[in-house]
Structure 1
Amino acid sequence: MYAERRSRLAPLTVWTRTVEVAGSERVLPDGCMDLIWSGEQLIVAGPDTLAHAVENTSGARYAAVRCVPGIGPALFGLPADTLRDRRVPLADVWGERAVRVLTERIAGAADPAAFLERLAAERLRDHDADAARFADAVVGELRAGADIAAIAAEVNLSERQLHRRSLTAFGYGPKTLGRVLRLNRALDLARGGLPAARVAADAGYADQAHFARDVKALAGVPLRTLLSG
């Protein structure tokens, strides 16, 4: 069972999950970075470029916070591209001594998800406002369908500067981030029951074939397989 909610404390989504049936699942790229408590270990999930395969054990419980795109570096203290396509122990990022204390505290917490929410909100309290504005602007322009030149002009950067800054903020350049955001919007529409041709048009793909190619490239499986899983 999976549940999530938007945090009132910071630009985060708080989520929990209890695995009911063991097996593998496909976690799709979403432009985000997560701090996850597995019940035994604190883990950092970096921004993915491709679907990430996860093997689940029946009864396993997870609590986590997911940063909106561009906020993860402020939480973890590292450029996003250093964690791209990686799952690493938080101890590798914040140090073993600090994380040992956090692990003891969260293991004894009545609500691990709320513990992570407060921890993340505290670390993000004084985060770089300029970096947050940059991330918001780029994500907003991409979701509105703007091209790279227009986005660079909007944030007063050259296209090369935009690419470098996006690597730090999101883990990849704006073109890849745009594909990831578009795919997630399209899948939300498809799960809502819209036919694939309508989804492709509404999400900004050239046509249904373009949509199908992007699903296969980023998710690793055809749309029908993805939606039936």
Structure 2
Amino acid sequence: MRQPRRDTRGIVDPAELLRQVRFRRLAPAAALAELVEHYWFIDWDLDRPFEQHVVGHPAVNLVVFRPTADDPVTAEVSGVATELFSIKLAERGWVRGVQFRPGAFPAFSGRSPAELTGRRVPLAQVLPVADPGDRLVAATTDAAAAAVLDDLLLGLRPAPGESGRLAMRLVERVRQDRALRRVEDLAGEAGISARSLQRLFTRYVGIGPKQVILRYRVHEAIEQARGEVDWAAVAAELGYSDQAHLVREVTAAIGMPPAAYAASLH
């Protein structure tokens, strides 16, 4: 079975996150591996509030959470984020999440994730499933919680279709290959026009191919900031026209220039 990825791409301060909470990823059932990136679970018991920031992947998430022990369990679907996601955690609580592969969500819902982009919507408004909150509260182990999510998703009988699979493959190409920097190059590889590629990504991913390329470039820049960095070299490697262009995009994504971000980590 394919194991969940172990990188921390997109998490603005992963070291601090891991100091404050218990975070882990779990693989879905084998029948879901084509469509679900992983399950992600977070538990916390904090003496003081902690705020976490994430530059999200171009993916839809199903999120079930209990902010504190006194709060009800809430289930929602979160579309592709269009800005830095921030959440403040306090007291004792938990989250159980499903990260769908970019391009996979229509296989479960029959709807385009473009309807959800930049939004968080109650689960009942998006997927025809029973609220899994009570079952997740009763799940005393990670394996039991993962089984609840497996049952929920398998019950939807997902069917990706040829176009959905193409979208998933193309997003994965962008994620894995830094040399893919232009929409036209990605469209050429797929054997379709740039306009057709735009329609494909909007329908299945929720944002356009240019935005996907940018998101993964920012992820890579953030990742490299955790070591010794030659920002001019990073800009050239990631296909920016100059260092100033990289600085503008990273600053827009995380709220500070990359050099200041790197300094904050060290």
| 1:77-92 to 2 correspondences below 5 Å | 77-92=110-125
Give SS of 2:130's match. Answer: helix
- Amino acid in structure 2 at the alignment position of 1:204: G
- Structure 1 window deviating more from structure 2 (34-43 vs 48-57): it is 48-57
Residue number in structure 2 paired with 1:72: 105
More helix by share: 1
Residue 51 of structure 2 is aligned with which of 24, 27, 32?
24
Aligned equivalent of 1:130: 163
**Per-residue deviation at 1:188?**
1.9
SS in 2 for 1:60: strand
Secondary structure, aligned partner of 2:225: helix
1:165-184 matches, cutoff 5 A: 165-184=200-219
Write the distance in 1 (CA, Å) between the matches of 2:82 and 2:202.
12
Q: Percent identity?
A: 26
**Quick one: structure 1 residues 6 and 225, their matched pair in 2 at CA, closer, same or farther if it must change by over 3 Å?**
farther
Root-mean-square deviation over aligned CA pairs: 2.5
Q: Deviations over 1:4-51 (max 9, x none)?
A: 244462132221112334233222131111111103021211101211
Q: Which moved more, 1:9-18 or 1:43-52?
A: 9-18
How far residue 141 of structure 1 moved from its aligned partner, in angstroms, is 4.6
Q: Aligned in 2, Cα 1:12/1:121: closer, same or farther, shift over 3 Å?
A: farther
**Aligned 8 A contact 1:65 1:117 in 2:** no
Q: 1:186–1:8: structure 2 CA closer, same or farther, 3 Å change rule?
A: farther
- Residues 1:60 and 1:130: Cα distance change in structure 2 (over 3 Å): same
> In structure 1, which of residues 203, 215, 220 is the aligned counterpart of residue 250 of structure 2?
215
Distance change >3 Å, CA 116–CA 154, structure 1 → 2? same
The match for 2:149 is 116
Do residues 4 (structure 1) and 34 (structure 2) align?
no
Give me the whole-angstrom Cα distance separating, in 2, the residues matched to 1:24 and 1:73.
32
Query: Structure 2: where are the runs of 5+ without partners?
Result: 1-20, 67-72
Task: Judge conservation of contact 1:65–1:113 (CA < 8 Å) in 2.
Answer: no
Equivalent residue for 1:35?
A: 62
Secondary structure at the residue paired with 2:98? Answer: strand
**Structure showing greater relative contact order (alpha-carbon pairs closer than 8 Å, 6 or more residues apart):** 1
What letter corresponds to residue 78 of structure 1 in structure 2? R
Question: What does 1:199-214 align with in structure 2 at a 5 Å threshold?
Answer: 199-214=234-249
Task: Quote the Cα distance in structure 2 between the aligned partners of 1:176 and 1:33.
Answer: 15
CA displacement at 1:66 relative to structure 2 = 0.8
SS in 2 for 1:4: strand
- Aligned residue-pair number: 225
Query: CA distance change for structure 1 residues 112 and 8 in 2, over 3 Å: closer, same or farther?
Result: closer
Candidates 96, 100, 119, aligned match of 1:63? 96
> Which amino acid counterpart does residue 138 of structure 2 have in structure 1?
G
Instruction: Give CA deviations for 1:80-104 in whole Å, capped at 9, x if unaligned.
Output: 1111011111011125xx334x333
Structure 1: which amino acid aligns with 2:229?
P
Question: Which of 225, 234, 244 in structure 2 is aligned with 1:190?
Answer: 225
Match of 2:126, SS? helix
- Alignment partners' CA distance in 1, 2:86 and 2:126: 23
Q: CA deviation at 1:189?
A: 2.3
Tell me the distance in 2 between the aligned counterparts of 1:119 and 1:208. Answer: 46
Mapped partners of 2:225, 2:170: distance in 1: 26
